[in-house]
Amino acid sequence: LNPETHPNCFLHRSDPDDVARVEHLTYVCTADAEDAGPNNNWMKPYDGHAVMDDLFEGCMRGRTVYVVPYLMGPYGSPMARGGVEITDSPYVVVNMRLMARIGERALREIEASGCFVKGLHSTGDLNPERRYIMHFPAEAAIKSFGSGYGGNALLGKKCHALRIASTQARAEGWLAEHMLIVGLEDPAGRVTYVAAAFPSACGKTNLAMLVPPERLSGWKVWTLGDDIAWMHLGEDGRLWAINPEAGFFGVAPGTSSATNHNCMASLGRNTIYTNTAVTADGQPWWEGIDGERPDKLLDWRGNAYSDNSGPAAHPNSRFTVAASQCPVYSSVAEAPEGVPISAILFGGRRAALAPLVYETLDWEHGVFTGAAMASETTAAAAGATGKVRRDPMAMKPFCGYNFADYWQHWLDFGARSSQLPRVFHVNWFRKDADGRFMWPGFGENMRVLEWIVDRCNGGDAAVRTPIGYLPPAGAIDTTGLEMSSADMQQLLAVDASLWQRELDEIESYFEGFGKRMPVALRDQVSRIRSALLQAAEAA
């Protein structure tokens, strides 16, 4: 790209049929299908290896083979884990250099630990009919063939840091989660650490690098991670988290100085852009970026752009950049011990059901809220957009074992500690009767986070409802927003009839997990249903 405006930045164009994760071709290979669960595609390990070995036969002949030792997590951290990826893709290598800690030091830590995740990858011939991503949890091994796309090919990312790590976490008593990590520093200098799980392209990166609005200019938001968190119980009973990654692999469209100032400030140098458009003078461009669309563009396929070409940048076009380039990268992001998490946020896109924010009643209710998460689909995964799907803890594409066992693993933490984080649900995407978003979002989300931080630090401003604790009138500062008390009342409203229908759908979803489904989560459905009826009778 233009070395004057974007020094050491590069544009990569993928095959037009290789632009997103392929969940229908992603498998977990276990001896028993029940261990993989209905949330995963399953194959026996022997069969999985047979399929992959046949594809790999001779596939790298004539190509350069790269061996990439990498570390997920800060150097010296007892929570960090190593891996080795063998690949024939230079694109994978340069991305891994930004997304993980690679090279000699990583190799030394792997040698010292005596164990690592084994990853084998080839782009193959990029034939969508010959594309598989196979995970072998019992062997801590991954085989990926036929795709060069990030989530399919950067094996340290979703494959290792979530699918394989989640199975290791269950066996060893920790959590590997699809979560951002931020430090929220109040005007007095107190920092409260928060982890948040949203489905891909639902605002994780924007929240991870949030700029507080002028009204809350005394607050600071420190970025530790925008995608994955590994959390262990500390000796003090609190959950301590690290970001296993070293970079950001973010969705470009919609990213601008207005929506994510700190992200844009991270991208001016040493960045890989994938499937964005490019201007005549060699600058990356995408829908939603600052300024007007230039007259001349090459689209993400490399063709001259015209008004009837569709999007200039692919909806799932990406940037890859080292986290250390973020201007608000936390000074403790590389701390080996991690940071103590005070709040866990779950969220998604719900136009009508979920209020702007609510706090769950206890840990068990928090696990239920995460397990019942649902959101509209996005371009980050191949398939139709705009449909609502269940995405528990934002882990539907990433949990490496049966969701029922995964939820029980979460529930078990309740018996292990009384110092666990508070759990909240947020919904930035509620719409009014005209289909317009009711909440301004982006930096203004700090107003909601302020209430969450207050609750974590002993604040009592909350009203109990059947679905959890809601902020009372005036608890969320709306000064400077064009928002009436009636608007806020609507944003925080709980429609009992909608929730009863939602509980029917949740109950039906849970039934799909059969006898392994935790009774405690079934009981939560009954409790909330009963509480809604009692509230209606009292009204």
The answer to whether 510 and 520 are in contact (CB under 8 A) is: no
202 part of the active site: yes
User: At residue 15, what are phi and psi to the nearest 5 degrees?
Assistant: -60, 140
Catalytic residue among 9, 29, 159, 202: 202
Cα distances (Å, whole numbers) of residue 37 to 34, 172, 490, 513:
5, 20, 39, 8
HSE, side-chain direction, 13 A CA sphere, residue 41: 12
Q: What's the CA gap between 219 and 190, in Å, rounded?
A: 10
Q: What is the DSSP string of 68-97?
A: EEEEES-TT-TT-EEEEEEES-HHHHHHHH
Tallying the residues shown for the chain, one arrives at 539
DSSP string covering 463-504: EEETTEEEPPTTSS--TTSS--HHHHHHHT---HHHHHHHHH
Q: Answer positive or negative: Cα dihedral of 248, 396, 150, 279.
A: negative
- The DSSP code for 304 is B
* H helix count then E strand count, the chain: 14, 28
List the end-to-end C-alpha distance of the chain, in Å, as a whole number.
63
Burial 398-436 (b: 16+ CB within 10 A, else e): bbbbbbbbbbbbbbebeeeeeebbbbbbbbbbbeeeeee
Q: Where are the alpha helices (DSSP H) in 136-192?
A: 150-153, 165-172
Alpha carbon of residue 395 to chain centroid:
8
CA dihedral 420, 421, 424, 428 (to 10 degrees): -150
Burial environment of residue 484 by CB neighbours within 10 A (0 to 12, 13 to 18, 19 or more): exposed
Catalytic (active-site) positions = 202
